Structure 1
């Protein structure tokens, strides 16, 4: 970042706009001195002489004019969020009052903070490692119970501790190998090769587990995309409205009403699902509708779950229906596909039982394919569908506080570290020289360090903290 990190900075720590309360945050060496020029305690106390973690009642004053009555919270470094002296002013939430206090702070020597600069200072002052700092942004952005739990687990440092421990053990062996290189002429072995090989296998196991966890962590963080596909007029838009419990999509008896995708989100059991209502799949000469159908397949291809919606008469050719179901599953072999039979309120119990039995028999042993019957219009069976969707997201790991990777940067670094460790493993088995082995070990150490912040550069920090909100 280009800013001078020795400056004393100020920003609004609460969301901009009018509210009951707003918080103005000041951090830096001169935080107490500057705040003392703005604030007057109702009991005449000098805030510079107060103990850390105290709260004072008083007024913000400019030229003897009272701007607002406030509470001032004092945190002396290093016992603060940033590790510096920090003052937080809780004022009334008037936009005018907020701007007056910010302007006064700048007038007396503060600089407006850049996005994420408070958390950047916390990282640089050793209050957080880099992965914990990134979890702060994830926590602020979390909009489901699962995303919140992921961010909290990362903020507590479980992921950092696991990576740091592996890096330390690997670093110890790297030091011994470097020592061997210093005594190469004497043919001395300081590193126990068997112990080192065992460590490499353990590191490989952990790295593969963490990388595999990203498949779950990423969708829990960003939401599980669910595509609703089917022929026109089977009730896709009605189902979307039933899932959302609102009239989000236009519903009509006219075939081909949905020309473009309609998307919205809900939380089911603490997991965010992004539902995508797509254009009906059929043969058509309408150019615009053809474009919508093409987009349907693109959206379904990018989804994690596909709801294939059917609407049948009791006279339907079930052989043809089940052939089409098999084709749709073959179209999306790696996805969880739910065959949703809609409008069951128009079907007899006998037909439904026969359909269910034939589905079970036909697709016995086919993984990633389920069936559920609903009436989207009557909203019956919709809760069972939600439960089925929720069951497909593995929450066991985060509920048991296991490390789950959800950050793309961490995922990329872990993959690079895995590649380096696989080269180390191959080198050990090939009995290559210590100097060549040391090169791959250094690569792995570098990528471990990128995750926790033991290896950084200005560009990396700038990219990470630029995505933070101002005031955090």
Structure 2
């Protein structure tokens, strides 16, 4: 990549729209724009102040391509740290392509994916974790993921890492200084203060590492498997949750033969619901494949909703022993997975029968039961609240740093491992030169997160996931 040339790209989604924004960045961006832009007031763009907007026409020789608003941003006070031009033109795909091709003929190059943000990083406008947050912000689909991305883009996460790194670097310098005076047997680094710092660093690292479990599900959505025997109302529940006819509903057992998935937002958190094939003994080959997939989806899910029908209670007595046996099979295989037993179709019960059922379920220990009617929607809101309860959003509410990036998570784990080695060495009287090696490794992993230590391959992998024009 040549960071000295001038790049151009469409910054808004491709296709027709009211307006489109074309972005140009590089040393010659303003000069090139001035050669194709005719201001209605005869302004020379090279003489205009930064952060100003100008009305005029983009001209290809004597041919007018469009009337546009052109924004001027002069480096280093721009997104990329370079001279930047943004052209707001009409959203015709033809106009967009004509303007971009005009700039290409004038000497620009088409920007690579994420190249504008990459230049912002290289020019010190963003650190690497903030740059990655830009992509997360663009792809955020719910309030929670948006909040996390905004907090990271503002530097909340990188500031924590930088503070820890700076303090550790200070002690590392003192340890290194001791090595220069090894023959004099002096200590520049206060060992008690160093131990306190290592304990504090470990506490912060562990908190950030633990937050990844929450951050990952918030970023990617929380998969919820809806399972149970055939005809207990799994597809009806999916339709009720989504408020649309997403799954086929019929009285014929085994109607759902493959997993059906859809997403919805509850309280700012994304949930991905999976309607599965009914679990039963069957000789139907296709249905058996669907049942096998059901157990696969249970493994992949973060939460399991096990449906049972109130019709069993209506017929005689609901067989709690049998129900708990079925539920126990799932709970035993997945002990850490939240499991809710839903007794569905309570709309067919009388008030007296409902009270009896409620009393019956209350006497069962160790299992979360909930009564609903997927058909009428009764109890569905309470179910949504129960699902939110499973998500630890305390850190989100308290505006604490939440890690959502796998690369950051991996670097934090490695940094923690090295810090623990330093602490072990300190407690066991290991020499300063060996301590210095482990400290350097911890500093290296901290630097990986913020981008103080990078490689071309790392940058290539990160920015390849960006959209063109950002």
User: TM-score by structure 2 length?
Assistant: 0.97
1:342 paired residue number? 344
Residue 327 of structure 1: CA displacement?
Answer: 3.5
Partner Cα distance (1:390, 1:36) in 2: 54
For structure 1, the 5+ residue unaligned runs are none
Residue 380 of structure 1: CA displacement?
Answer: 1.8
User: TM-score by structure 1 length?
Assistant: 0.97
Partner Cα distance (2:410, 2:176) in 1: 28
**1:429-467 deviations in whole A, cap 9, x for unaligned?**
111111111111111111100000011000000000000
Partner Cα distance (2:149, 2:271) in 1: 18
Partner Cα distance (1:158, 1:468) in 2: 21
2:451 paired residue number? 453
Which of 326, 329, 337 is the matching residue for 2:328? 326
1:355 paired residue number? 357
1:190 paired residue number? 188
Which of 431, 434, 441 is the matching residue for 1:433? 431
Partner Cα distance (1:358, 1:322) in 2: 13
Partner Cα distance (2:238, 2:424) in 1: 52
**1:242-286 deviations in whole A, cap 9, x for unaligned?**
111111111121111211110000001111100001111111222
SS across alignment from 1:362: coil
Which of 9, 30, 33 is the matching residue for 2:31? 33
Partner Cα distance (2:79, 2:412) in 1: 28
1:469 paired residue number? 467
Partner Cα distance (1:428, 1:22) in 2: 60
Which of 50, 62, 65 is the matching residue for 1:52? 50
SS across alignment from 1:92: strand
**In terms of mean alpha carbon deviation, does 92-101 or 286-295 score higher?**
286-295
Partner Cα distance (2:382, 2:305) in 1: 13
Which of 222, 225, 228 is the matching residue for 1:224? 222
Residue 81 of structure 1: CA displacement?
Answer: 0.3
SS across alignment from 2:212: helix
For the aligned residue pairs, the C-alpha RMSD in angstroms reads 1.2
User: Superposed, which structure 2 residues align to 1:55-454 within 5 Å?
Assistant: 55-312=53-310, 313-314=312-313, 315=316, 316-363=318-365, 366=366, 369-454=367-452
Partner Cα distance (1:317, 1:11) in 2: 65
SS across alignment from 1:414: helix
**In terms of mean alpha carbon deviation, does 350-359 or 209-218 score higher?**
350-359
Q: How many residue pairs align between the two structures?
A: 466
